[in-house]
């Protein structure tokens, strides 16, 4: 993977395939090679004076460190000082030109996402196909958790990509964070938590714990969010990803998310000033 200042116009837009909090995603191919199809994520620049979004920089840093067949591959990250945005060449061919710094992430192109397939009335997953998809998701997570020490924090069906030959690719690492395994020894070895226990209550107390790093609990799309996150825990582990995998597994079996009722909780949280913020 390369990160360089380059000319994004070497790619030709074929169509928009999605959008998110931090930008739109387009299907494209190299101008000189129509056989090389890629996915180009155009990063939103809310305030160019503030520089590149820290979320995009974090995602690039994490993706450049990953190499696994079940993790989507980042091919290059491009910063481009250009007279027009990548997507404006078709929309506004006569628009007055002005210089701006834009940022793009170029990924391998994957044909489908699991959410779209589940919503397609003509697609039906047989049990052995569900097992095969789930096995690949778990393989990718095993690599993330035990080799790369990454918590994804936003696993859901729309972030599970699937190629035409059935290969699964975990995508969208905008909320992912790296963790230090030794900081979570208390979780994996509860017999060693005596230094983290409040003497008066005999309960785990993060204030006296050797665990140094907390994360925000406002992560993971609500329908896939683990109970500890819903209850406000900020000292969680990669177990939150496994809860999300369970939700995806159930969604494949029944054809829809199983915890849609949590939308009521979401509306209450927003009234209290909560919501689904990006955090630490």
Write the CB contacts of 169 (distance below 8 Å, at least 6 apart in sequence). 70, 71, 72, 73, 108, 110, 140, 160, 161, 162, 163
CB atoms within 10 A of CB 229: 21
Per residue in 39-48, is it b (16+ CB within 10 Å) or e — as a string? bbbbbebeee
CB atoms within 10 A of CB 173: 24
What pairs with residue 5 in β-bridges? 79
- Token representation of residue 43: 């990063």
Which one from 113, 154, 172, 241 is the annotated catalytic residue? 154
- Token pair 């993977």 in the structure block, residue: 1
Angstrom distance (rounded) from CA 24 to CA 43: 7
73 is an annotated ligand-binding site residue: no
Angstrom distance (rounded) from CA 111 to CA 121: 17
Write the CB contacts of 190 (distance below 8 Å, at least 6 apart in sequence). none
Angular region, 153: left φ>0, alpha ψ -120 to 50, beta rest: left
Active site annotation includes 154: yes
| Residue list for the binding site for ATP | 41
Catalytically annotated residues: 154
| Residue list for the binding site | 41
């Amino acid at each position: 993977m390369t990160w360089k200042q380059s000319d994004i116009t070497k790619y030709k837009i074929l169509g928009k395939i999605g959008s998110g909090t931090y930008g739109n995603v387009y299907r494209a191919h190299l101008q000189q090679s129509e056989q090389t199809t890629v996915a180009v994520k155009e990063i939103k620049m809310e305030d160019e004076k503030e520089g590149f979004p820290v979320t995009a920089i974090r995602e690039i840093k994490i993706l450049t460190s990953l190499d696994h067949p079940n993790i989507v591959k980042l091919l290059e990250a491009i910063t481009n000082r250009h007279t027009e945005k990548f997507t404006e060449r078709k929309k506004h061919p006569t628009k007055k030109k002005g210089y701006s710094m834009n940022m793009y992430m170029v990924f391998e192109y994957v044909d489908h996402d699991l959410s779209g397939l589940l919503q397609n009335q003509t697609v039906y997953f047989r049990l052995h196909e569900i097992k095969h998809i789930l096995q690949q998701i778990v393989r990718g997570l095993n690599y993330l958790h035990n080799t790369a020490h990454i918590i994804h924090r936003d696993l859901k069906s729309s972030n599970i990509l699937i190629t035409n030959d059935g290969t699964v690719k975990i995508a969208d690492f905008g909320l992912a964070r790296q963790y230090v395994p030794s900081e979570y020894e208390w979780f994996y070895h509860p017999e060693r938590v005596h230094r983290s226990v409040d003497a008066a209550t005999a309960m785990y107390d993060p204030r006296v714990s050797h665990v140094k790093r907390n994360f925000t609990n406002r992560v993971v799309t609500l329908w896939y969010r683990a109970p500890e996150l819903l209850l406000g825990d900020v000292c969680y582990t990669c177990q939150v990803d496994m809860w999300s995998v369970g939700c995806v597994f159930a969604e494949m079996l029944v054809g829809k998310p199983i915890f849609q009722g949590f939308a009521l909780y979401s509306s209450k949280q927003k009234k209290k000033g909560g919501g689904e913020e990006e955090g630490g």
